């Protein structure tokens, strides 16, 4: 069965241009993960674009033809499987907007606290198991990394060991801790790129030993500014500064998956709260964390 792609992410395009082989690692209801070397490509029968995604036109019934471990071949125009072929001819390349430097401004304390309160409400009604706000690893991260940074002591922000207890925490395909750190560091490193300041890096080996390979790759891409367009819009909107409302974009991301979208969004807001406090001497982080701790 042949299908065509409408969009191809810039990372996926680079991989296909190398004409390598790969294999299927995950098959979901509307998506397939492909692994080649240390890289992953997501085939998605849907509209959400990202640098690692190929958006395929057509119905998802073709997913029944893919199987775990199946080999595939890539070139610049096609990806071929045993019983299917997807052509990239004519597909538009989707590029990250987080690689472009801009002037950034932080939301007000009241806006950040309101955003976290909205996320807390979604956590409270989620049917999933233990939530990230109740996890001691998040509490320790705030105490050992965010609070010192917000008070003008930045060294902890760049220590790898501060993040590792969160990696792999929680259930689901992409653990809650991975989603939180991905949203957090996508935001932090974007601001750092805009300001030409130091970014946070996490060694791939340290991440990979604590979580599933696909999630480790997604987290690694996030640090470099490669996230899906929904998370990208949220980050850009929140950093417009002033009284710009970001709540629609926040809810659009937060409603994704069981708690994945909430966890990513929380990472964005807590990052901006800590960075705002560090720059302006405010109490945004304390206000946000008090909301999370309230029953």
Residue 81, burial from CB neighbour count under 10 angstroms (0-12, 13-18, 19+): buried
Q: Note the pLDDT of residue 62.
A: 65
Confidence of residue 244 (pLDDT cuts 50, 70, 90): confident
Q: Note the pLDDT of residue 241.
A: 81
Higher-scoring residue by pLDDT: 173, 196: 196
pTM: 0.95
- Cα atoms found within 13 Å of the Cα of residue 141, Cβ hemisphere only: 26
pLDDT in tens, 203-214: 999 999 999 999
CA distance 12 to 72: 14
pLDDT in tens, 38-84: 899 999 999 999 999 999 997 666 677 889 999 999 887 899 999 88
Domain residue ranges in the chain: 2-94, 105-293
Confidence of residue 142 (pLDDT cuts 50, 70, 90): very high
Q: Are 275 and 191 in contact (CB under 8 A)?
A: yes
């Amino acid at each position: 069965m042949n299908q065509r792609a409408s969009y191809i992410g810039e990372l996926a395009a680079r991989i296909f241009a190398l004409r390598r082989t790969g294999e299927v690692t995950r098959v979901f209801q509307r998506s397939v993960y492909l692994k080649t070397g240390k890289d992953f490509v997501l085939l998605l029968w849907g509209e959400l674009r990202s640098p690692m995604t190929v958006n395929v036109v057509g119905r998802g019934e073709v997913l029944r033809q893919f199987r775990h471990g199946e080999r595939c071949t890539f070139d610049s125009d096609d990806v071929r499987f045993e019983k299917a072929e997807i052509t990239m001819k004519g597909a538009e390349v989707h590029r990250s907007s987080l690689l472009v430097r801009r002037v950034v401004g932080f939301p007000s304390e009241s806006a950040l606290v309101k955003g976290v309160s909205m996320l807390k409400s979604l956590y409270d009604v989620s049917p999933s198991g233990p939530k990230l706000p109740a996890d001691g690893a998040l509490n320790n991260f705030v105490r050992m990394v965010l609070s010192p940074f917000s008070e003008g002591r930045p060294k902890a922000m760049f220590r790898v060991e501060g993040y590792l207890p969160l990696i792999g925490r929680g259930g689901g395909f992409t653990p809650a801790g991975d989603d939180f750190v991905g949203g957090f560091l996508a935001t932090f490193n974007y601001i750092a790129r805009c300001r030409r300041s130091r970014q946070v890096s996490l060694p791939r080996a340290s991440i990979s030993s604590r979580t599933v390979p696909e999630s480790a790759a997604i987290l690694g891409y996030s640090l470099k500014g490669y996230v899906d367009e929904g998370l990208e819009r949220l980050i850009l909107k929140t950093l417009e500064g002033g009284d710009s409302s970001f709540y629609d974009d926040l809810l659009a991301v937060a409603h994704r998956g069981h708690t994945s979208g909430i966890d990513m969004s929380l990472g964005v807001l807590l990052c901006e709260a800590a960075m705002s406090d560090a720059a302006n001497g405010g109490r945004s982080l304390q206000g946000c964390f008090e909301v999370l701790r309230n029953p």
